Amino acid sequence: MKKFTAIFAMALMLPMSLLFVSCDEDAEVAYHLDGAWRGNMYVKTAYGGRTYTATYSEIEFYSGYNSGTGVWVDYYSGAPYDYVANHIRWAVRDGNIYIHFVEENIDAIISNYSLGTYDFSGRLEVRDGDYANFHLTHISSPNWSDYRYGWEYWSKQQTYFDGTRASSTREIPVRLFVK
């Protein structure tokens, strides 16, 4: 009887231990996002009455449990600036990845995505239903300290006199996602 009780207790403990173990999918997604990613986000910027298409984008996610911060850099060729950089705050909730661009004060949602060890693809949606399908590849973490914080370094420095009139406003690149 003693042996039966011990076996019965062990048999009861096994399913109970599995019952109390939880696997948080949002935390697992955040874990896999951690690091640097490079690829095509199909980003454009409007600046000076013209539209420029990014050659490629690099995104670095600094991970917490299910959220974090990071840096998003879009690189351009043939534009009056080499790159547009933004600090981001991001969170994973209910399987979606929510991204807030700090400097631009824009929110985006990544949904319907596939996230693996080396590949990250999906759909990024922003205001008014604009969206872009993307594909990124996991890369080694670059040295982000080369990027300066703020708007001033994205294009040529504006002088106090813009042509023949004094200028008190400064135009900044506006990020656009295309379908």
For the segment 84-141, what is each residue's pLDDT rounded down to a tens digit? 999 999 999 999 999 999 999 999 999 999 998 889 999 999 877 888 899 999 996 4
Does 165 have pLDDT greater than 90? no
- CB atoms closer than 10 angstroms to residue 48: 11
Domains detected in the chain: 25-163+172-177 (2.40.128.120)
The count of C-alpha atoms lying within 13 angstroms of the C-alpha of 74, restricted to the half-sphere facing its C-beta, is 23
β-strand partners of 136? 39, 120
Report residue 15's pLDDT band, with 50, 70 and 90 as the boundaries: low
Of 84, 83, 93, 29, nearest to 61 by C-alpha is 29
- Torsional sign, CA 153, 159, 49, 126: positive
The full length of the chain comes to: 179
